Amino acid sequence: MSCAPPCPSLKWNIFCRVIDNYGDLGVCWRLAVNLARRGQAVRLWVDDASALGWMAPTGAPGVEVLPWHAPLDMDGVVPGDVLMEAFGCEIDPEFIASYASRIRAKGLKCLWINLEYLSAETYAARCHGLPSSVMSGPGRGLTKHFFYPGFTPDTGGLLREPDLLARQAAFDRRAWLARLGIDWQGERLVSLFCYEPVGLPALLQQCTQAAQPTRLLVTAGRASAAVQLWVDEQNTLQPPWNKNKKLLISYLPTFTQTDFDHLLWACNLNLVRGEDSLVRALWAGKPLVWHIYPQDDNAHHAKLDAFLTWLKAPASMRLAHARWNGLEPAAPMPALLQDDTLDAWQACVTQARTKLLAQDDLTTRLLAYVQRLDSD
């Protein structure tokens, strides 16, 4: 369901807490920018905006970033039209009180959205759009609505910019690599954005033994630390471990969100982590392995299985995900760098990407949803 232009301009307040490795902030920033580009005014309240210094150093027109600290200073703050709690964070009672007072005084509709985490599990479609009455506190009598991102038309969809395909078509891989100081000679390119996956040593060993040289493009932070630790161990235990120079490693700087897209577009295989990078890897349309965020109760096992089921992943792709994420630590790692493996994965991801491109993106669905709430 598309939002037919012109969409009325609303004042949005998106609240975000940085929990782990800035994934929540990455999603909220992309959403804020997408809304602003469609004529919405957005305030992003965040408790730690430091990552935006490298993620989005130039900011974005129409997006105001405000510090979210307790107690929240409401002096001169007008709550606006839409409240959005990202990923279960709770908005301060003083803000809710001000918002409730304003909409009641003006006879406005309550547009309070709880943006949930991405999942391919069936509950996402079942719970998408459900209302929840606020029973206590300053928001008593108001109603929240749950908005679930997802991979199917009956969910909230995925974030996608209107110009994404045009930018991707114009991308020059060799020129972009050259700007990073990488003299690319046609070797296979693999991106690595991960935590500390159980399957990392097996992948690195495969790289050293593959027929074709592989250049591993390693993102800054935990991925770089994990690779450097493995390399140091190999240098100590078996110094000639890479004597044929089949594995080439490039450690990358921190990237803007735009350059992270470029990284994924440049590679033959993308190893990604978290919600935002999984979505960007799907739009890149290349073979991928997802390092899902681990949860103490192993809830991520079902979440990963649901995604792979939706993806219609071939058996080798399922096994690679199980091995990479430690679900089957004793299982052999599939030959990720063989052409027939990558060809099968490529066909799978291409089909999934085509299916997703035929659907409305998350911002379009969100604007249409808010319009319906506002008109009911």
- Contact indicator for 311, 347 with CB cutoff of 8 Å: no
81, 85, 261, 275: the catalytic one is: 275
N-terminal to C-terminal alpha carbon distance within the chain: 17
Cα separation, 167 vs 15, whole angstroms: 29
**Residue 116 to residues 93, 147, 286: CA-CA distances in angstroms?**
20, 6, 26
Nearest alpha carbon to residue 43 among 69, 93, 73, 78:
78
Annotation says 163 is catalytic = no
Q: Which residues contact 360 (CB under 8 A, 6 or more apart)?
A: 1, 2, 153, 157, 368
Task: Say how far apart CA 221 and CA 88 lie, in whole Å.
Answer: 26
* Residue 243 DSSP SS3: coil
Q: Is the dihedral of CA 220, 224, 225, 228 positive or negative?
A: negative
Helix boundaries (H) for the chain: 23-37, 52-55, 93-106, 122-127, 164-169, 173-179, 200-209, 222-237, 257-266, 274-284, 299-311, 315-324, 339-357, 362-375
Residues 6+ apart with CB under 8 A from 205: none
Which residue in 24, 81, 85, 121 is the catalytic one? 24
> Quick one: tokens of 242?
């890479």
Residues 37 and 62 sit within 8 Å (Cβ to Cβ): yes
For residue 269, the 8-state DSSP code is: E
Q: Which of 278, 282, 332 is nearest to 304 (CA)?
A: 278
Q: Which DSSP category does 8 fall into?
A: P
Q: What span, in angstroms and rounded, lies between the C-alpha atoms of 215 and 308?
A: 27
CA distance 140 to 222: 43
* Catalytic (active site) residue 24: yes
Look at the block and give the residue holding tokens 């108001």: 142
* Rounded Cα–Cα distance for residues 327 and 62 (Å): 43
Catalytically active residues are 24, 275
